Amino acid sequence: MKIKTWIKYEEEYLPTSRCRKFRYKECEDYVNAELKEISLNDAKLAFEDNSYEGAGKIYFYNNRLWCMARRNLNIANDYKTKTALEDLIWISEHCSTYFSFDFDRINYGKDTSKENTIKSIEKDMENKLLIDGILFEATTEPRYIIMNFGCGKDFRVGTFVEYGNFHNYGNNCFSAIEGDKAIAYANDMAKHTSDYGKFKANIKVHMPELVTINSK
């Protein structure tokens, strides 16, 4: 699928034939970004995140995990878009972020050419996928995080589903296949609170071979 995308960039030029130092002029254009499309039959169901505001069904395709893209509520409310794909189409055409200015070149040494701007779009599009007309985005495997907060009578315990392995939660982290272990740990932590017995495993694992996170 082609996504019309607004870009701004710089072009090099020589003011006269005698000049040897390039000048730059700001340009803008619309280009068609390529959004890859596949059928759901091409993907495999890997996980299901049924937690509060969870990612839902997570699919495995082309050695990566994909979940349904979240809505941009600001665009939805202001411009009445109805799906994440419509959000992307509107944003790409009307409030794109693929703008390269002289400030980027002078202060950060950025390549502000049209070619490099298009490369940035292509790189971002690699993290998006259209499956049977529904927009998905690249994700990572889910894991359980057990947290406590408050003190005294206000001491509470919660279980959360998080993505990636960027934070070190120590013994409070459990992989997607360790749901029972995570719930037992949460109940032990909450045994003197009203939270005891309220926890449940929210991740279904359909492809256990994709679990790589080790609990601490």
Rounded Cα distance, 130 and 97, in Å? 21
What is the per-residue pLDDT across 61-83, written as a single tens digit (0 to 9) for each?
A: 999 999 999 999 999 999 999 99
Sign of CA dihedral 100, 106, 109, 114: positive
pLDDT at 204 over 70: yes
Inter-residue contact 87 to 74 (CB < 8 Å): no
| Average pLDDT score, the chain | 91
- Please give the average per-residue pLDDT across 195-209, as a whole number: 90
Rounded Cα distance, 88 and 4, in Å? 10
Pick the residue with more confidence: 153 or 48? 48
Rounded Cα distance, 31 and 178, in Å? 46
pLDDT at 47 over 90: yes
6: tokens are: 């607004």
Residue 153 is predicted with a pLDDT of 58
What is the per-residue pLDDT across 96-128, written as a single tens digit (0 to 9) for each?
A: 999 999 999 999 999 999 999 999 999 999 999
pLDDT grade for 41, boundaries at 50, 70 and 90: very high
Provide, rounded to the nearest whole percent, the portion of the chain with pLDDT above 90. Answer: 72
Give the strand order in the sheet containing 173-175: 156-163, 142-149, 173-175
